[in-house]
Structure 1
């Protein structure tokens, strides 16, 4: 039982770090380093708009659907599904899906309120899909490792490695960006 408490603490810490990074990237556009072009929408600071038509003109650039934004929105929410599967086992599937939707909606509403990008129903759909895919990945891991301690141990290892890699990537981008502006 002692390992399970330590594992839960680690999972909770990784989840909080993930949520902070998620909001920093999506809502705050990497501020104060918003001139870093890690995300394609970082040049949208100061824009306040709402699109309620899924997969419409907001994703069409030069007459073509902009798939990279769709893929990035899905990918950034996959860890949410994995963490929700790990930490909120007692929630039924509808509540988990609602949680994915709610967190995405909060991000979009905050973007509108703060004027840091376009609020788009397509983002909510794709973010929710990312959460669902993450939950499916968690369920797959759970089937491979039926022992919940083994499952959580694997999730923590993957989460810790992912958190370290993302933190290093963002740090390198910030350092590189700051270095460029010295000259």
Structure 2
């Protein structure tokens, strides 16, 4: 039950981060609705993916693969990888439908790779820890979840923001500032007539 609860908390945080960049949930005005179909490139004049963005997407999805393997250890590993890929496609599609971020094939690839890394880490842990794997990894997940919740709370309470919302007047100096894990792009500042 603890592992299921931790997985639910992880999924909620993952969706909030990927879709709304830790901002209040909202629907976009269409300015962020972009589709990037060529991975790891500047597609249609859109910026290429930065190494930091790729690394962030990888790291965010490592726990996904880990949780799936802990919750369903008897299932083949490739089924967990398919679930991670399907979840990533669902998140990218949701970003496009709600116009709240760039939908990018690169994100699907890196998210799935991150989930696969979590699957591989679980397999390595099973070889080393044997029967203690679930207990040890559940404790690690609990500690990680508590730390991430504390960090998220501090971040939300701080004046910092991951990606400016469409109704903010301050826009970062560089158009890619604050944009990772979903390619959120700040909208231009509102004019006096808006």
Task: Normalising by structure 2, report the TM-score.
Answer: 0.75
Which position in structure 1 is the counterpart of 2:138? 156
Task: State which of 10, 23, 26 in structure 1 corresponds to 2:2.
Answer: 10
- 1:86 equivalent to 2:78? Answer no
SS for the counterpart of 2:158 is: helix
- 1:55 equivalent to 2:37? Answer no
Structure 2: give runs of 5+ residues left out of the alignment.
161-194
Count of aligned positions: 154
CA shift, 1:155, in A, is: 1.3
Give structure 1 regions of 4+ aligned residues with deviation exceeding 4 angstroms: none
CA shift, 1:111, in A, is: 0.5
RMSD of aligned alpha carbons = 1.8
Q: Deviations over 1:23-48 (max 9, x none)?
A: 000012212289xxxxxxxxxx9400
- 1:19 equivalent to 2:11? Answer yes
Task: Normalising by structure 1, report the TM-score.
Answer: 0.79
Distance 2:68 2:156 in 1: 30
Q: Is the 8 A contact 1:101 1:127 kept in 2?
A: yes
Q: Is the 8 A contact 1:29 1:116 kept in 2?
A: no
Distance 2:142 2:157 in 1: 22
